[in-house]
């Protein structure tokens, strides 16, 4: 019990530090690079030359994007919007906004690819997992990874009933950690879609990419977004 309590305390401290660092970064960014546009939320982005890019999208990836966007334009997630019910510091209907949010595009991707195995990295409130689950084929499954059990995540929109069918599972583990990654590499290799929506802190991303580069994906035409 002491060990579990200590681990939970350490995890809480790490999360608090990450949130504090992000708030400081945002405050510094607003002061040094004020936005010319007023909006509820904004992030800075960068645009690079394409002629000297180290990679190019394949024809299959371009076609997949077009087909998924076409499906996204007709998808309605109103039933999932009802799950939010003021739990988040965002308008409840934000997840049904497209273009803008990724949820309907994610649903379109599932409709087009009809995957049997989907891996999500970053459960959080569970909205992406619910979107994936809604549009899975009957023989499909979603495994969502996080370091926090879904019941303990602030503002979770997941419910026990979402797991009852056996099509949705959560696994706890930090896939940026090489040892943890190796334990789950077979699931990643066999996945049709790997959706990464974990911390964008410049640390997790680099470690996860380094781990992914150690494995060879078997299927052709799968998506990693």
**140: CATH:** 3.40.50.150
Provide mean pLDDT across the span 167-182.
95
* Residue 7 covered by a domain: yes
Residues 25 and 108 in one domain: no
Query: Is it the case that residue 184 has pLDDT exceeding 70?
Result: yes
Residues 117 and 22 in one domain: no
CA distance 9 to 183: 25
* Residue 118 covered by a domain: yes
Average pLDDT, the chain: 86
Residues 129 and 90 in one domain: yes
CA distance 170 to 194: 14
* Residue 46 covered by a domain: no
CA distance 175 to 207: 8
Residues 71 and 124 in one domain: yes
The CA angle 17-23-26, to the nearest 5 degrees, is: 140
Predicted pLDDT at 163: 96
* Residue 210 covered by a domain: yes
Residues 64 and 103 in one domain: yes
Residues 128 and 215 in one domain: yes
Question: Which position has the higher pLDDT, 42 or 168?
Answer: 168
Q: Which domain holds residue 170?
A: 58-224
pLDDT, tens only, 12-53? 555 566 667 777 877 777 777 787 888 877 777 788 898 898
CA distance 211 to 67: 30
Lowest mean pLDDT among 56-65, 157-166, 215-224: 215-224
pLDDT above 90 covers a percentage of the chain that reads 61
pLDDT above 70 covers a percentage of the chain that reads 88
CB 127 within 8 A of CB 98: no
* Residue 42 covered by a domain: no
Question: Which position has the higher pLDDT, 206 or 11?
Answer: 206
Query: What is the model's pTM?
Result: 0.79
* Residue 2 covered by a domain: yes
**Tokens read off for 186:** 């077979």
Residues 13 and 75 in one domain: no
Q: How confident is the model at residue 212 (pLDDT cuts 50, 70, 90)?
A: very high
Predicted pLDDT at 14: 54
Question: Which position has the higher pLDDT, 114 or 220?
Answer: 114
Query: Is it the case that residue 64 has pLDDT exceeding 50?
Result: yes
Residues 105 and 14 in one domain: no
Residues 83 and 178 in one domain: yes
Predicted pLDDT at 80: 93
* Residue 103 covered by a domain: yes
CA distance 210 to 186: 16
* Residue 63 covered by a domain: yes
Residues 89 and 27 in one domain: no
CA distance 126 to 4: 24
Question: Which position has the higher pLDDT, 190 or 2?
Answer: 190
Residues 75 and 28 in one domain: no
Q: Which residues of 117-144 are buried (b: 16+ CB within 10 A; e: fewer)?
A: bbbbbbbbbbbbbbbbbebbeeebbbbb
CB 109 within 8 A of CB 124: no
Domain total of the chain? 2
Residues 122 and 168 in one domain: yes
Predicted pLDDT at 72: 97
| Residue where the block lists tokens 């989907």 | 118
């Amino acid at each position: 019990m002491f060990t579990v309590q200590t681990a939970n305390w350490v995890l809480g401290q790490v999360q608090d530090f990450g949130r504090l660092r992000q708030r400081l970064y945002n405050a510094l960014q607003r002061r040094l690079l004020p936005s010319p546009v007023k909006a509820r939320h904004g992030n800075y982005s960068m645009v690079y030359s394409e002629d000297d890019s180290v990679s190019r999208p394949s024809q299959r990836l371009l076609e997949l994007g077009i087909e998924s966007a076409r499906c996204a334009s007709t998808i309605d997630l109103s039933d999932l919007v009802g799950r939010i019910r003021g739990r988040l510091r965002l308008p409840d209907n934000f997840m049904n906004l497209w273009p803008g949010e990724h949820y309907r595009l994610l649903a379109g991707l599932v409709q087009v690819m009809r995957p049997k195995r989907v891996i999500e990295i970053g459960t959080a409130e569970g909205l992406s997992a619910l979107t994936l689950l809604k549009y899975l084929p009957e023989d499909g499954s979603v495994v969502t990874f996080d370091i926090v059990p879904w019941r303990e995540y602030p503002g979770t929109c997941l419910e026990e009933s979402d797991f009852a069918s056996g099509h949705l599972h959560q696994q706890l583990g930090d896939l940026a950690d090489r040892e943890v990654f190796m334990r789950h590499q077979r699931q990643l290799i066999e996945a049709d879609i790997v959706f990464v929506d974990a911390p964008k802190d410049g640390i997790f991303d680099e470690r996860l990419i380094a781990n992914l580069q150690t494995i060879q994906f078997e299927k052709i035409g799968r998506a990693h977004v």
